[in-house]
Structure 1
Amino acid sequence: MIPKTDVEQDSLRDGTRIGDWRLYPSLHEIRRDGEVVRLEPKAVALLVRLAERAGRMVSREELLDRVWPGVVVGDDSLTQVVIKLRKALGDQPRHPDYIQTIPKQGYRLIAAVEAPASGPDGAAPGAPHPRRAGTALVAGGVILAVLLLGYLALPGNREAEVATGGGADAAGAASAIGEEPLTIAVLPFEPLREGAEQNNLARGITADLVTDLSRLSGLWVISTHSVFGHDDGEGAAAAASARYYVSGSVQRTPGRLEAHIRLIDSGSGRQLWSERFDRPIGDLFDVQAEISRQVVRILEVRLTRAEHWRLAQRYTRNLEAYELFLQGQAALLVRQERENLNARRLYQRAIELDPTFARAYAGLALSYVADYRNQWGEDGEAALARASEMAQTALEIDPGIPEVYWVLGYIETQRRHHGQAIAHLETALGLDQSFADAYALMGGINTYDGHPHRTVKLIRQAMRLNPEAGYLYFLLLGRAYFFIDDPEQAMINLREALARNPANLEAHVYLAAAATARDDVETGEWEVDEILALQPGFDTEAWLATYPMTDAGQIRKLSAALASLGL
């Protein structure tokens, strides 16, 4: 039963108790047993409004009006503030003690709210004296302004604030832990020997390190790893935008693993930590865990008990299953029918060796989604249902893996259940605030729903977090710009996508449509030839049958552009 609150005023007094915490709105912080957590202003405004209506549902519309008065922002901005507020409170979305989500409606504060007893001068006991607090607040405001100016001076960070409407960015991540964020880039590890096995091992160690570090609230991780796939670039852009970066080289020799790992301060170029590993190949998982622990130790990242537990867990202890999984990942990213089937077989073999390998189930799910999306099988609906079963199995095995929620979101996107997809992606971001692909898929969904302006902001945020993500981010941007009626920017981004993946049919489709919008007949006709070479007998209506777009106006616009080219 939700306790009735006696707090009904327009703004709460410093010292108001909310569950185990006391809120100090004037200082932008919450306190508990000597622990002090700083909140960003929008998180304070959100918590105040929820506390004023404790026990009652507050609609998303009311919260948007209260937190962003006079400013039009998307629902995703509110979602991001809720995620950060939950993180600060130590709340769990699935089993909340503070903020309960009312699907498609709003949020409700379910913790008890108690007004503070008045102390001298009307202040809450233990709160700063009003005059001293005012002085401290002015000084704090000056310091905050200096820090903010310094933060905004970093490459790309002005745009980050615009892109998310005050949502998840490095400064926001810092507010949840009360200090400036530690920003770290994980560069692709270099295989010292040639061969698919060596490349897969290097990619796998890179991806696992990114996943480990991204799940820690004290770090903001910029990576080159992507669920969508990534380019094998040097990652210079990632390192340039991060305070620290990890790089390394690895090789597998008969029965052994050799690796050299370095942690660098990008500002000074100073090497903070370097270690060479020469271990039996069976120690691979222990080496991976040790690398993560050393990075956390050197950077003095403070971990919660849950984060310590997560860092100690491995996805599988079966080396052969892990190697099959890495091979499956490499095959899946080719995005061709034969390789997709091969990926499925590799995931299935990995699961036979380790039936609790959640990430292998998630990969298996994506192979079935690919059948549906690309119309590779006779029964697309059955393939999508199978994908959902595999993803749910992964979730039941380990509900703490962000990529699993991404896969669930991707499946619901194909079903055109976009609200459910966004909910899964919000959960993924709650687990990993640096999860670039979650922002990217949110961006794609916004275009499907007829909000391409929101897409641009979300994809720019994803690109900052994963500068080497590859062709798909450019495709999502180009698609959004086409529907925004900016065919010039659409063509720029679509050509970037095709430079990275010339065989992507969707990018050719949108480039043809954008060329038509610019009256560029030559490019349009060229792209028609490319489309028919990739898919002889291409039919727009049939292609759209499994396309997740739900905005009727956008479907008509795309269809008309392609029809003018004879497609």
Structure 2
Amino acid sequence: MSSGVEQSAKGTLRIGDWIVSPMAGHMTRGDETVRLEARTMRLLLCLAENAGQVVSIDDLLNQVWQGVVVTPDSVYQAVTSLRRLLGDDPKQPVYIATVPRRGYRMVAKVSHGDEHALPVIAQTAANEAFHPPGQAIKPRSGSRRLYTKLLAIVCLLIAACTAFYFLTKQRPLQQTAAAAVTPDPKSIAVIPFLDLTDTMNEEPFADGMTEELIDRLSQSKELHVASPTSSFYFKGKQVTVADISKALNVAYVLDGSVRKSGNTLRVAARLVRADDGFVVWSQTYDRSWDDKLMIQDDIASEVAKALKGSIR
């Protein structure tokens, strides 16, 4: 990891709407908290430390995957996953932009430290406007007593609201948890594949690849496959595998991407176990860009055969 990334890991960063805490391993936005794996955090910090600049695939491999032998596919998948966590759209990015044939660029505003302290700084500046530098600002005793009373009232209100919430919500939550249905261990949802081609104009092919996979997997009597309507509901939405699993009541989620280089098409597929988020199978398929329908049928057949042995 570069020295800049090491420095960022010691404090907090504000990246767009997110406050990133590397030491805690998470980022927050309002009431939302998202935990990041160590490598995903290093990827985010690497891009943030070079905000506004293009970071090449080789640089990311050297800094994020230092000492580990991986292919550029690992970078593509990691960036795609990070975008989903940030709530970013690769077609209209506000966080990470793809620079065709060069790499990625952090386009969001990045600043060091927790900017929640700004109101306090602003108040200090206002005080100094009425008091010469070096002169102590003594709080009025009456204001101090009023502040203490207000603080006590606020604490009582918070305690009362908390007690009311747990008294009124605890039973419904328990009932909901009891009513939750455990997904069939051989159930799966195929999420629309991502178009990661340089021009991003192969979305119809990516959608067709998704539909072909759903159709091919549905022919297996051993698997229970979510319908295309349910799967395509999540197209373009920034949701986690856990959320998809809960919404569709499936044990596995299959996603992937489509890329193109010259006359070669590359389709990457990945099977994720929903209960722990682990990737249990992944494969990359390279085909000549001659017959799109034949490519979809060929890859769908191979994926269907591979998944039968991976889903237990």
| Greater relative contact order structure (CA < 8 Å, 6+ sep) | 2
TM-score (norm 1): 0.28
Higher helix share: 1
Structure number with higher strand proportion: 2
